[in-house]
Amino acid sequence: MQSTTEKLRGAKLLDDRRNNKSTAFTAREREDLGLRGLLPSRVCDAQMQEKRLMRTLKNKETDIERYISLIALLERNERLFYQIVTQNLEYTMPLIYTPTVGQACKEFAQNFRKSRGFYINPSDKGDIRKIMDNWPEEDVRVIVVTDGQRILGLGDLGSNGMGIPIGKLQLYVAGAGIHPEQCMPVMLDIGTNNDDFLNDPLYLGWQKPRLEGEEYLAIVEEFVMAVQDKYPRALIQFEDFTTNNAYKLLDIYKDRVLCFNDDIQGTASVALAGVFAYERASGTDLKDMKFMFFGAGAANTGIGDLIVSAKVERGMDEAEARKQLWFMDSKGLIHAGRDNLASHKQGYAHDIEPLEFVEALEALQPHALIGATGTPGTFTQDIVEKMASFHETPAIFALSNPTANAECTAEQAYSWSKGKAIFVSGSPFDSVTYEGKEHKPGQGNNAYIFPGVGLGAVACELSKVTDDMFLVAAQALADMVSETDLERGTMYPSLNEIRKASLDIAVAVCERAYDKGLAQASRPNDLEAHIAEMVYDPNY
Ligand code: NAI
């Protein structure tokens, strides 16, 4: 890793997280690099280091302690951190990302040790491009930015939300092999409306109410333009904005710069991958599939829009496709008679009676029920039983996070449907044995999708992200689901296969980009080999 021109030696080398190998420095390296006497005698290989750290993690009492321990490792030895995270993703992902990262955000000030992202606040207005020069990396290729207003299911966490861009970028590195130095976490710290933080003398963010309206849009615009100037090839991922701002910013920027919104498009793609796999598991053609959505926020309307695109790509008329998707929100069924519907809901305002939920279910008889309400327990026994009466293999997607917010549990979905349902969740659920058969729920985790999309964007120097890239990403992911997985009711491959999934998705995204003339890099002869060659390998 260390270039020959850099002559880091001795204690300085041990303090450099990128080049430090700690106890894995060999006797020869210890001699050559001035490390003799600075390390314990035993030379360990990476496997032994990993074993020791995994034991330390398992001995900790809480997940937040494990999170802190992992981040401390990242500060000491970046390559070991990524080796461990990548090789144990099923174990480490819930620590470095949801659900533990939510708690890490809540306790951000309390656990703050070393600053690890780029902060912009209202006093930086007019200077954002200038201060971006303070960021130590020259070739940033992926930026995850949030304003902290809608962190996971936790609401407005202000600048404490920085844990999210940091965690997502760790997944870009671990899940797809984007190089760590090419990643930049950004917090638009434009205030908070959370009274706890406004009144907390130890809060670390901009302690004023949030900028809104034109002032808000102006600071986002200045940030986006600064990125275009300093890092013109960087992909911007908008993350955890409120639904209104998420849609607004996507509308403003999606055709102007290289960007996407993970809550809308990433979620849609991973859910569509589950639907493609469900198509195989149930034998129901996507063109015939009917959907009832519970919740009409960024997550669910994004999913609906991509399902419509997938139906249209299969040759359906868009208006016909839309009619197969019905939505309920907190005010009831979405229909043409409703006033003041937000623009993202209008495409689903069908000319139908304003039915109650159960009546609407009976009228539509959907194959799949997709919940993203943030409200636990909304899929009752009656509802799941009804789903099982409409079709032989109904799909129940309970996407709300964290686990405690899921619309129903895996156990409920399987037992209430008498083992017929395919269950997909947002947060992890354990396998359930129902009447002797093991059912393994699939987790529709966005982390299957965004790292691969990012890798594709970097590989072909994408100029803009189009919706159909999330469609091909979904298909590439669904193609990885094995017959054995389908048989057990699992609609996704194992998280431990995420590097392979990301590579397949990156290839699919690049192919689409070359076909549409959106790739700025010239096309290599062997696209897959080219991408595989460029990924970050954390091994020493
Ligand atoms: P949002 O706040 O934009 O939308 C929530 C929607 O649910 C609104 O339309 C609201 O009217 C509706 N709603 C709330 N309670 C309801 C009830 N009792 N009955 C009917 N409708 C109800 O939130 P967003 O961003 O759409 O996220 C929703 C949930 O989806 C969150 O829990 C989030 O964690 C989860 N999510 C899961 C993802 C995944 O699994 N990959 C990715 C993104 C979000």
Q: How far apart are CA 116 and CA 121, in angstroms?
A: 16
Q: Of ligand 1's atoms, which has the minimum distance to the CA of residue 271? A: 41
Domain boundary among 397, 425, 447: 447
For the cut 60, the answer to whether the pLDDT of residue 515 exceeds it is yes
345-400 per-position pLDDT tens digit: 999 999 999 999 999 999 999 999 999 999 999 999 999 999 999 999 999 999 99
Residue 478 lies in a domain: no
Judge if 278 and 210 occupy the same domain. no
Task: Give 371's strand partners.
Answer: 294, 398
95 within 8 A of 70, measured Cβ to Cβ:
yes
425 neighbors 441 (Cβ within 8 angstroms) = yes
Span 146-166, average pLDDT: 94
Whether residue 229 is found in the same domain as residue 287 = no
Q: What is residue 99's three-state secondary structure? A: coil
pLDDT, tens digit (0-9, with 9 covering 90-100), for 437-463: 999 999 999 999 999 999 999 999 999
| CATH number for position 407 | 3.40.50.720
- What backbone torsions phi and psi does residue 370 show, to the nearest 5 degrees? -120, 115
Query: Would you state the pLDDT for residue 6?
Result: 61
How many angstroms separate the CA atoms of 507 and 100, rounded? 31
Whole-number pLDDT of residue 1: 60
pLDDT of residue 109: 84
**HSE (side-chain half, CA atoms, 13 Å) at 157:** 25
Task: Please give the radius of gyration of the chain, using alpha carbons only, rounded to the nearest integer.
Answer: 24
The reported pLDDT for the residue numbered 402 is 81
Reference 186, options 283, 119, 101; nearest CA is: 119
Question: Can you read off the two tokens belonging to residue 318?
Answer: 């868009």
**pLDDT score at 4:** 43
pLDDT digits 0-9 by tens, 182-208: 999 999 999 999 999 999 999 999 999
Percent of the chain, pLDDT > 70? 99
Q: Give the mean pLDDT of 464-472.
A: 97
* AA letter at 173: V
Are 280 and 340 found together in one domain? Answer: yes
Mark whether 348 and 424 lie in a shared domain: yes
Residues annotated catalytic, as ranges: 97, 168
Helix ranges (DSSP H) in 160-241: 163-176, 195-198, 213-230
Residues 277 and 334 in one domain: yes
Cα–Cα separations (whole angstroms), residue 436 to 162, 415, 441, 484:
45, 12, 16, 17
231: domain range? 100-257
Segment holding 131, helix H or strand E: helix 128-132
Residue 129, classed as helix, strand or coil, is helix
Q: Which residues does a 6 A CB cutoff place in the pocket of ligand 1?
A: 152-153, 243, 263, 267, 270, 294-300, 328-330, 372-375, 378, 399-401, 405, 426, 444-446
Instruction: Please give the distance, rounded to the nearest whole angstrom, from the Cα atom of residue 332 to the centre of ligand 1.
Output: 14
Residue 251 has pLDDT above 90, yes or no: yes
Domain containing residue 121: CATH number: 3.40.50.10380
Best of 399, 443, 450 for a ligand 1 pocket test (most atoms within 8 Å of beta carbon): 399
- Whether residue 295 sits in one domain with residue 329: yes
The reply to whether 200 and 155 lie within a common domain is yes
* Percent of residues, the chain, with pLDDT higher than 90: 94
| Single residue among 402, 426, 447 that ends a domain in this structure | 447
Atom nearest to 405 CA in ligand 1: 32
Give yes or no for a contact between 368 and 394, defined as CB atoms under 8 angstroms apart. Answer: yes
Residues 342 and 430 both lie in one domain: yes
* Model confidence at 327: pLDDT above 60: yes
Residue range 22-34: average pLDDT?
Answer: 97
